């Protein structure tokens, strides 16, 4: 009788462990649909390399060069699959913040330089904001090993200068949490909520 209870207990324990393990795998993207969902996704390294290249080309296209505050990442995970499993697809955006203050007079020059840098990448500008808007923006898209979206933002400050950010986004990337990504070298990670102490530049700020 005791042996029979031990065997039954062992079977029950194995069942509980199996169910618990299955639930953990299901919740973390290793269920049957989630595994199938991985196929055709861009690897995280490849997606990161694509947006790094776009940002590097944008940064290098600015002359005279800027001083940069740093970079941050946003990851938008795709909706759950129909059976409730977490999708393994995501959109990854890397955002570079410019520390150099840009004057209203020099902003059109900067936007033209960014446009040329994007064209050299094979990306086309699909939208340019009205010059009277408080936030000046360029939006571009192109195929740099996969569909890549580019955005330029310039937000007016109280002294009539602009705080500028460059953004590059890759879609269909295999999911990885945002904190796992490292900024485009040699930038450090800088939260988008952090206050940026802008600097005055002899050319861009006047």
DSSP structure class, residue 180: G
Show the tokens assigned to 135. Answer: 């936030």
Does residue 122 surpass a pLDDT of 60?
yes
Express each pLDDT in 151-193 by its tens digit.
Answer: 999 999 888 899 999 999 999 899 999 999 999 988 999 998 8
Mean pLDDT over each residue of the chain, to the nearest integer? 84
Q: What is the pTM of this model?
A: 0.80
The Cα 32–Cα 28 span in angstroms is 12
Cα distance between residue 97 and residue 117, in whole Å: 17
Q: Sorting pLDDT into bands at 50, 70 and 90, what band is 35?
A: low
Side by side, the strands of the sheet bearing 162-174 are: 68-77, 89-98, 162-174, 147-156, 135-143, 124-128
């Amino acid at each position: 009788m005791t042996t029979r209870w031990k065997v039954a207990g062992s079977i029950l324990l194995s069942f509980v462990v199996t169910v618990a393990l299955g639930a953990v795998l299901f919740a973390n993207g290793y269920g049957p649909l989630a595994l199938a969902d991985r196929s055709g996704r861009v690897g995280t390294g490849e997606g990161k390399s694509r947006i790094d290249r776009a940002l590097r080309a944008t940064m290098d296209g600015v002359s005279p060069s800027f001083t940069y505050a740093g970079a941050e990442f946003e990851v938008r995970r795709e909706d759950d699959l129909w059976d409730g499993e977490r999708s393994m697809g995501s959109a990854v955006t890397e955002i570079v913040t410019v520390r150099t203050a840009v004057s209203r007079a020099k902003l059109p020059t900067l936007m033209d330089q960014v446009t040329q840098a994007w064209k050299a990448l094979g990306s086309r500008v699909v939208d340019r904001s009205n010059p009277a808007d408080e936030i000046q923006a360029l939006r571009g898209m192109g195929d740099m090993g996969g569909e890549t979206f580019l955005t330029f933002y310039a937000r007016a400050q109280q002294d009539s200068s602009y705080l500028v950010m460059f953004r590059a986004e890759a879609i269909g990337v295999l999911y990885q949490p945002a904190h796992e990504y490292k900024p485009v070298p040699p930038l450090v990670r800088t939260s988008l909520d952090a206050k940026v102490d802008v600097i005055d530049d002899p050319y861009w700020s006047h």
